[in-house]
Amino acid sequence: MRYSFHDITRVMHCLSPDNRTFLVLQAILAEGDNVRTIVKFLSHEQSIEREEAVSLLLELSKSEALCEKIGSVNGAILILVGMISSKSENLSTVEKADKTLGNLEKCENNVRQMAENGRLRPLLNQILEGTSSELNVSMIFEFHASIKGVLSLCTCTIFF
């Protein structure tokens, strides 16, 4: 018997993250290419499939270990960032994508990817709070250069 993302998400959402069944479901979904498959559904045309995939990623992102796995899937963070800035996406999907990104901030590599894809607040928070243990100087310079480029572009736009 096959279960849909919706069925799995509903079960996980009803359980506490400390519940044994929740943890077993997380472990099963973490195996193999399951996370990559879920991320692929974020690109589907049908909004129902996208929303179910985001809901499932939100539940999985409650685990720090799975945050790393989600972030390591090529394009996952880029798609989620794009979803929260989309005018055509439904509000529920946008909120779930935003919460998922909030959970993914637990991992420094994810924060870097978010910054590279235009979601700068997590990186700024790490820099200001000094909570980043491995945040290297080159990342700060890259961030500074990207902000300087944006500010230069804004200044040029104002003068023309």
User: Which secondary structure element, helix H or strand E, spans residue 112, and what is its range?
Assistant: helix 108-116
User: Which secondary structure element, helix H or strand E, spans residue 155, and what is its range?
Assistant: helix 137-159
**Mean pLDDT on 136-154:** 56
Which pLDDT tens digit goes with each residue over 34-83?
A: 889 889 989 887 778 888 899 989 988 988 888 999 999 999 999 999 99
* pTM (two decimals): 0.74
Question: What is the percentage of the chain residues whose pLDDT exceeds 90?
Answer: 26
Residue 78: alpha-carbon gap to chain centroid: 8
Distance CA 50, CA 67 (A): 19
Kindly tell me the burial class for residue 52, based on how many C-beta atoms sit within 10 Å of its own C-beta (0-12, 13-18, 19 or more): buried
